[in-house]
Each structure stands twice: as C-alpha cells, then as structure tokens.
Amino acid sequence: MLINNYIEAEKYYKKALTIYPESITIMKAIADLKSFQGKYDESIYYLNEIMEIEPSNKNSGLNLYQTFIEINNYDKAKDVLDGLKKYYPKDSDILNSLLEIQYIDKNWLGLIETYQIMYENINNDEIIYRIYEIGISTDNFKKVNTVLLELKNEKNALIIIELLAAIAEHEGKYILAIQYMEELINIAGENEIYIINLCELYLRAENFTKIINILEPLYLNGNQSIEILRLLLIAHSMLNNIDKEIVIGKLIINEYPNVKLGYETLYASYYQLGEQQKAIKILLKALSKFPNELFFAFHLSNLFASMGDYNKAEKYFKYTLGINPNFISAKYALALMYEEMEDLNRSDSLFLHLINENQNDAIGLNDYAYVISERQKVSVDELNFAIGLVKNAIKLEPDNPAFLDTLGWIYFKLEMYVEAEQYLQKSLSLNDSNTVILEHMGDVYVKMKKFKDAKKIYNKILSIESDNELIKNKIAKINE
C-alpha cells in the first residue's frame, strides 16, 4: 500500500475481512483505499457497513459525511450528521460539519441554532457576532432576537445585551433599545461609548431633554469630546436653545479647529437670530479655513443675495461653481437672483442652460415656468412658452400638485379662467392644505365672480394662517 499498490492492498484487506467480517478497522482501511482511488460509491458502502455495526462511530461517520459532500449528495451528508448528533449533540467537529452543510443549503435558521449550541459550549464573542451577522444578512431578526434572549437568560454577557439593543434599534423599538442600553450601563458602569449610544437612541426617540440631562453634567465636568458636543448641539437645536448652541459652537471652533461643525453651528445660530453680519463673518472665516467646502460658499452666496448685495452674491456663487461646476442648486439660486435683479437676459440664459443640460428635470421646468408667470411685464408669447415648459414637467410627473398649480396659474394670467379652475382643482385634490394653491384658486373664483366659493377658499387659508393680512384684505374686498 505504501507504494500505491492498491490492487494488492485491496486483496489483502478483503481476505482479512473474510476472516473478520465485522472488523471495523479492516472495513475502515478498505473504505480509505477506495476513497484514495476515487471510488466513492464503494467507499460509502464500507463506511455504511461500519455505521450499521457501530452507529456512534464518530470518525467513520465524519468520513462518510465528507464522502457524500465530495459527490455533492448533500441530503445524505445531512442524514449522516443527524445520526451522529444523537450521540454527540455538542461535539465541535460535528457542529462545524453541520455548519458547513447548513451554509450549502442556505438553512439560515438551522445555522443560527447550531451557532447557539456552540456558544453554549464555548463563551466566544465571535460566535455571537456570527449569529447577529447572519440575522442581518438574511433578515432573520426575530429568530436572532429569540436566540439572544435565551442566551441572555443563561449568560447575561455584555455583548448579548449590546446586540439585543442593536436589533431593537433596527426595528424602530427605541424605548426597548434604551432599556437594554441602560441595563448595559448598570452592569458595565458609565462607559462613554455606551452613554453616547444611549443618547443616540434618545435622539431617535426625540427625547432631547433627556440627552441634555445625561450629557450636560459630563460636559460641565470637562468631558468635551466631539461626540458629546455634537449630541448636545442637536438636542439644544431641536429645543431652540440658540444661546447654548452658540456657546458650544464657539467651543468646538476653539477645541477642534479642523472640524466644520463649529462654524456650521455658529452660522446657523446667527442666521436664525437675524444677525446677518455675524453670520457673514463666520462664513468668511470658515471659507478661509475650508476653501473647498461647498456649504460655506453656497450659504455665503445666498446670504448676500438675500441682503440685496448682488455683486458679492454673484462673486460667491461663481466661487461655489468653481468648486463644483455641476452644483445645480447654485445655478438655480444664481438664476433666481438675476430674476430679482430684473436682469432677465441672464436669468433666461441660465434657466435655458439648465433645462438644456437636463430636459428631464421636471422641477427645473416647472420652476422656470412659474418664474416667467410671476414677471411684472410678460407677454402672451412668453406665457405660452411657459405653458409648454410646465406641460413637459407634468408629462414627467402627472400627479405633482405644484406643477398643476403652475399650469393653472399661467392660465389665470392668460385670463383663461375655466382652464385655470380645472388644473387648480386637480392640484387641490392632491394637496388641499397648500395655501399658495388655495389662494390661486380663490383668485380664479373672484375673476369668475364665484364670490361664495372664493370666500370659502380664503377662509380655509385663514384657518391655516390666521394672521394672513393679504387674505383678510381679499375677503374684505369681496364684502364691499
């Protein structure tokens, strides 16, 4: 046999088997010999004979399993393992073989259960991670959650509680996830990572006051990590604590000068307070620090435009487009600024450029059409051109209420009130609480002398915006 004389070896073993017909050792040797020669069916025969005599023979059983795998007979391979499991329910070799066949069969639930048995034998965190990863990748969260709860009752390991919290968060059960994180902190102590994770969960649960209550003491005691500051900023922002935002924003700029968040925070806070010069100062400082950051350049452009400083606005719009020539929002904002400047040539040129670049930009088509309709001096030809634009937008998005409103409003400008009523009614059927669409509808009814309908529409606007003086004046004019 050592010189690969398989024929002679086989004769020797078969002769020996006639003398000792139930010798497992001889049958094992013949099975190996057949396997070496690639005669798997004959090898399986002798291995089956062994298993008939000794069903608990682990080594021969695993050899039989591997032989069935070799010939791709996975059902038989699984049957062999099922038989061995009766004798060795927690044996690592058998469990690893079972994992192999379960992967092949894509038996994810069985795979999770096998890993559960393995973890019960060996407290190995890698096994728990594997259970969790399988649950994520195969969408078997319910099964994984059940297994983890069973293991938690036995082990109560930190990793198990962490993963239970992760599953609860994934399923949107934030209160449950919070309970797990609090349990984790009670066991492990005040670990900053766990505290941050807890506050992230409170953020998702929109309990902003709780975030402040947890993090403020740490912050005041000198723990000013960027993660703590970020969460405090979000919480204060949601609660409109602008003064707190400014304090934290300044701190971030001082302590973390290479982090954009501090500058973004101060700009947003000053802008919200109406302190435009301070907002500009921060944006200029930020842009000198982060010269290629679109956020600062674009917001600086918009801020100058809103203040009527069109020269500086144009300068920074062009700067923004120098950073990213394909930044569509900047191009639209610049076109709208030209419109405000009544520089219609440059406005039309830029809008047409945008449309030609992307003829499937439904929003762009609609916006340009509406801009044209709102001009003080607009010709019938221009309004008809605008109708063509918005109709193309509607072809792309037939049920967009804003597009239908634009078309109705252009017909109003053309004094085609029946058509205007038709499209505005359809727009309102899709969005009956938009005050702009409602006002357009009311204005059409006034022109059609449907004053009762107009008042009803205007009163609906007042139910949404009770301090709308323009609408109050329109009602008063009807009542004259």
| Higher pLDDT among residues 457 and 3, named by residue | 457
Q: Which among 134, 123, 46, 55 is positioned nearest to 88, based on CA atoms?
A: 55
Question: What is the pLDDT at residue 6?
Answer: 57
Please state, rounded to an integer, the average pLDDT across all residues of the chain.
91
State the DSSP code for 290: S
Distance CA 51, CA 64 (A): 9
List pLDDT tens digits, range 28-49: 877 787 788 888 887 888 788 8
Q: pLDDT tier at 408 (50, 70, 90 boundaries)?
A: very high
Q: What is the pTM of this model?
A: 0.73
How distant, in Å, are the alpha carbons of 370, 445, 471, 476 from that of 438? Answer: 16, 11, 11, 17
Distance CA 214, CA 203 (A): 12
List pLDDT tens digits, range 102-155: 888 899 999 999 999 888 888 788 989 999 999 989 999 899 999 999 888 877
Helices (H), ranges, 54-140? 58-70, 74-87, 92-105, 108-121, 125-138
Q: pLDDT tier at 410 (50, 70, 90 boundaries)?
A: very high
List pLDDT tens digits, range 345-382: 999 999 999 999 888 999 999 999 999 999 999 999 99
Question: What is the pLDDT at residue 311?
Answer: 97
- Between helix 294-306 and helix 328-340 the angle, nearest 10°, is 10
Phi-psi region of 33 (alpha: psi -120 to 50; beta: other; left: phi over 0): alpha
